[in-house]
Amino acid sequence: MKVCFASHNANKVKELNEMVPDHISILGLEELGIKEDIEESGKTLEENSLIKARYVFEKHKIPVIADDSGLVVHALNGEPGVYSARYAGPEKNDDMNMDLLLKNLETVSDRSAAFQTVISYIDESGQLNQFKGEIQGKIIDVKKGNNGFGYDPIFQPIGYEGTFAELSSDLKNRISHRARAVHKLLEYLRQEL
């Protein structure tokens, strides 16, 4: 059974392909001939992942998985949230994003935050299911560590000494928001497909 993962990132597509049961084959956007970026115009992770899933489903009528992630900082009313990638501007620059976040938190004592992922899955009949993964933590004052991407150097998950950028990628990939959402999706797919 063919299922699209609405991503242009071949690594992400390959990774998911290795995680799903053998009778499911994951196709990326390129393999469906979708070259354009799908506009993420939603105001929530739920909306954005749904927009991406629906775009592909309308075109190809095959089951689709789409994800959207972000960093939610409680003292900033959930910012940068859905705007995490472009918080400091359209350049989508990780360092600029972290610098802006640290500046906005300069005088803030509540540093609690969470990474969240929402996966939308539309099945062959058009029915939607959404799966949410989250990891709680705090934003530290200075960047630490060289692994990972995005806000990893300033995010320290609860129960761990280091930031996401100081943890091994193996460990991060086991406890992350994305891993938790994917786990819920896989449980569902194993039962349904």
Residues that bind ligand IMP (CB under 6 A): 68-71, 84-85, 115, 148-152, 164, 176
Instruction: Please check whether residue 84 is in contact with residue 71, taking contact to mean a CB–CB distance below 8 angstroms.
Output: yes
Encoded amino acid at 54, one letter: R
User: Omega of the bond prior to 153 within 30 degrees of 0, cis?
Assistant: no
Please identify which of the residues 22, 37, 67, 68 carries the catalytic annotation. 68
User: Residue 63 or residue 148: which is nearer to ligand IMP going by CB?
Assistant: 148
Q: How far is the CB of 164 from ligand IMP (least distance, A)?
A: 6
Smallest distance from ligand IMP to CB 125, Å: 26
CB of 97 to ligand IMP, least distance (A): 6
Verify whether residue 94 is a known catalytic residue: no
Q: Return the number of the residue (63 or 150) whose C-beta is nearest ligand IMP.
A: 150
Which of 63, 157 has the CB closer to ligand IMP? Answer: 157
CB 177 within 8 A of CB 72: no
Contact 130, 120 (CB under 8 A): yes
- Minimum CB separation of residue 191 from ligand IMP in Å reads 26
Q: Which residue has 């004052």 as its token pair?
A: 141
Distance CA 118, CA 49 (A): 7
Angle, vertex CA 86, rays to CA 16 and CA 66, nearest 5: 25
Q: Which residues are registered as beta bridge partners of 121? A: 65, 129
Contacts of 149 (CB under 8 A, 6+ apart): 94
Q: Which is nearer to ligand IMP, 63 or 133 (CB)?
A: 133
Write out the catalytic residue numbers: 68
